[in-house]
């Protein structure tokens, strides 16, 4: 799970311009200035790099970074 968080964090900092210092599990995507279009873009990158496709109907469950990690974990069958 920690590994998933780290990998997502890397994606957010290196490809989405997120400040490392702002990046915490409880940070909301809104606070990180990432909007709904960015979220869809993130799912495409997550699919490419982590092999997990987050379907559109799960996006509304994702408010914080940890929410995203939880959804990815669930969809990839990783133990929580």
Partner 1 sequence: MKSPAITGLGAITPAGRGVEVSWHRVVDGKPTAALDEMLAAADVPVALCCRVPDFDADAEVGRGASRRLDRFTHLAVLAATEALAQAGLVDDDGRIIGADPDRVAIVLGSGIGGAETWASEYPSFLANGPGRVSPTFIPRMLSNTAAGTIAIRTGARGPNVTVNTACAAGATAIHVARDLVRSGTADVAIAGGVEAGITALSVSAFNQMGALSRNPDPSTASRPFDIDRDGFVMGEGAGVVVVESAKHAKGRGATVLGRVAGVGASADAHHATAPSPDGGGAILAMRRALADADLDPSDIGHVNAHGTSTPLNDHAEALAIRTVFGADADRLAVSSTKGVTGHLLGGAGAVEAIFALLALRSQLAPPTAGLHRLDPEIDLDVVADTARDMKLDAVMTNSFGFGGQNASLVLTR
Tokens standing for residue 53: 């496709």
Reference 62, options 53, 71, 75; nearest CA is 71
Would you tell me which residues interact with partner 1 (CB under 8 A)?
15-17, 33, 37-38, 40-41, 44
Known catalytic residues are 35
Residue (37 or 80) nearer to partner 1, CB: 37
Torsion 45-59-61-52 (CA) sign: negative
What's the CA gap between 62 and 49, in Å, rounded?
19
Q: How far is the CB of 13 from partner 1 (least distance, A)?
A: 12
CB of residue 65 vs partner 1: minimum separation in angstroms? Answer: 17
Q: Which is nearer to partner 1, 1 or 31 (CB)?
A: 31
């Amino acid at each position: 799970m920690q590994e998933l968080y780290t990998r997502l964090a890397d994606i957010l900092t290196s490809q989405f311009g997120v400040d490392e210092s702002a990046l915490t599990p409880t940070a909301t995507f809104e606070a990180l200035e990432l909007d709904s279009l960015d979220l869809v873009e993130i799912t495409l990158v997550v699919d490419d790099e982590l092999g997990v496709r987050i379907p559109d109907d799960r996006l509304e469950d994702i408010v914080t970074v940890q929410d995203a990690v939880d959804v990815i974990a669930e969809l990839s069958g990783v133990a929580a």
